[in-house]
Amino acid sequence: IAYYHNALRIRTESDFPQDWAQTQNNLANAYNNRIAGDKRENLENAIAYYHKALRIYTESDFPQDWATTQNNLANAYLYRIAGDKRENLEMAIAYYHNALRIRTESDFPQDWAQTQNNLANAYNNRIAGDKRENLENAIALYHNALRIYTPANFPIDCFKSSFYLGKLGWDNGNWELAIEGYEIAIKAVEQSRNWVIDEQRREEILKESIIVYERIIQAYLNIGEVGKALAYTERFRCRGLADLMASSLFNQGGEIDPKVQPLLIDYEDLQKRINTLRFGSQTEANLVLAGSRQLRDGEELEKYKEEIANLTAQKQEVWKALRKLDPVLAGQIEVEYLSLEQMWGLVENKTTALLSFYTTREDTHIFILRNQESGLSEKLPQVYTCQGQGWEVLQKWIFENWFKPYIGDNGKWLEKMGDFLAEVAQRLELNRLISQHLMGIEELIIVPHLYLHQMPFAALPVGGVVWQRMG
């Protein structure tokens, strides 16, 4: 901000109008993102500087600069603290529509998609007008943005738009729309993970996307699609496990077959070429924080998409060759997860059942697979929900009462083990779970989640009669 003010001592409106307008716009952007000072005052300064820039950046003389400033001004009004919120949103919508007079899909596809997404956010939060109509407009605008922002070509921008689309559905109880948005968001976040070479950043991406997996699982449960919910729990679990294994291998200096090394080099080289094409000169460390590289027009966008597709295809061929030599390492680079059909294959015996645990913020779900008498086409997984046993209530409780005493006071841990395990069984409602779903089962395949991985399930106490009836 100080340097921009310095520049304005020379870049005056009368002597250097274009440079003056450019600096006014840059100064507005700086105030819009300023951390120091009062947020309300910073936004007011940003709005004032954008308006100054528009004295030179007119639609007729500088259409692109005018449209960009209209979009930026709309963003400032969208998040404005001062003034009437209803009026601010109406101003934001008007400025976004102004920007779209220049930012067309054919001429400036990325700019068009950006403004479509921003306008969708404004309609989603709009106070004036009909609520239903505003939401329909927001949905249509998110869909517009996603025509350009695809997981394969712009995964970061795609994630933002699809996440908001899914959230709109989630917040309004439209589970099908929530699923649509979150499915695209998951594809985008998984693509982002594949594009980032740094293992620490991969872990951060997975952590940031937890809410998306959690919500799509819950949305599928809400519409009775238990199998699809289970498939996404496995998808999330495998991705996290693969990242953990890969991090352990490389951090501990795991030996890599000399035949594999050239393929790894080729794979990373192709990924770096994709990153350069995707982000220009942005460094790997900033990949996920960076905005999309701006393309001038639709023709350039098509060329970019073709180049990305070609490099991705080459990378996939290298990965296939790598998988033949080292399937474990290949699985750490690009995750393959069990399908529902493969999971069913684990319980072909009628006395075997699979229990897959998954804890959300609110509850713990126990997915159940067992081979009933019906034909394969009629096989349906079931779910048992321990209501209220979410992250804080169950998982944090396990950490505080099992892990911490084990490390800090082993004697006390041993003394209280029986009571603790009894409470775990009670919280997971094991007696009811067994009586309702596991009668006649002699063998259990247990797939825990989070701190449940450390539970001695065989030692969890259940009622004697129930245990005998289970087999």
Dihedral sign computed on CA atoms, order 233, 207, 166, 300: negative
Q: Which residues of the chain have pLDDT under 50?
A: 242-253, 281-291, 376-377, 465-471
Q: What is the pLDDT of residue 442?
A: 92
Range 308-317, long-range pairs (CB < 8 A, 24+ positions): 308/152, 308/153, 308/274, 308/277, 308/278, 309/152, 311/270, 311/273, 311/274, 311/277, 312/152, 312/274, 314/270, 315/267, 315/270, 315/271, 315/274
Domains in the chain: how many in total? 2
- Regarding whether 191 and 75 lie in a shared domain, the answer is yes
- Regarding whether 165 and 21 lie in a shared domain, the answer is yes
d(CA 43, CA 76): 6
Q: What is the pLDDT of residue 305?
A: 73
Residue at 62 is within a domain? yes
Q: What is the dihedral of CA 326, 327, 331, 337, to 10 degrees?
A: 180
- Chain-centroid distance of CA 399 in Å reads 26
Q: What is the pLDDT of residue 466?
A: 45
Q: What is the dihedral of CA 162, 195, 270, 311, to 10 degrees?
A: -10
Question: Could you list the residue range(s) of the whole structural domain that residue 460 is in?
Answer: 344-470
Residue at 218 is within a domain? yes
- Regarding whether 190 and 88 lie in a shared domain, the answer is yes
Residue at 42 is within a domain? yes
Give per-residue pLDDT as tens, 38-62: 999 999 999 999 999 999 999 999 9
Give per-residue pLDDT as tens, 400-451: 999 899 888 888 899 999 999 999 999 999 999 999 999 999 999 999 999 9
Q: What is the pLDDT of residue 257?
A: 65
Token digits for 231?
Answer: 């498939």
Q: What is the pLDDT of residue 379?
A: 77
Cβ count near 374 (within 10 Å) = 9
Residue at 386 is within a domain? yes
Q: What is the pLDDT of residue 322?
A: 65
Give per-residue pLDDT as tens, 154-166: 888 999 999 999 9
- CATH (domain of 407): 3.30.420
d(CA 420, CA 417): 5
Q: What is the pLDDT of residue 279?
A: 60
- Exposed/middle/buried for 446, CB within 10 Å: 0-12, 13-18, 19+? middle
- Regarding whether 356 and 209 lie in a shared domain, the answer is no
- Regarding whether 246 and 100 lie in a shared domain, the answer is yes
Token digits for 386?
Answer: 């321990």
- CATH (domain of 63): 1.25.40.10
Residue at 304 is within a domain? no
- Regarding whether 154 and 33 lie in a shared domain, the answer is yes
d(CA 119, CA 140): 10
Q: What is the pLDDT of residue 125?
A: 97
At 454 the three-state DSSP class reads: helix
- Regarding whether 375 and 241 lie in a shared domain, the answer is no
Q: Which of 253, 287, 306 is the last residue of a domain?
A: 253
Residue at 336 is within a domain? no
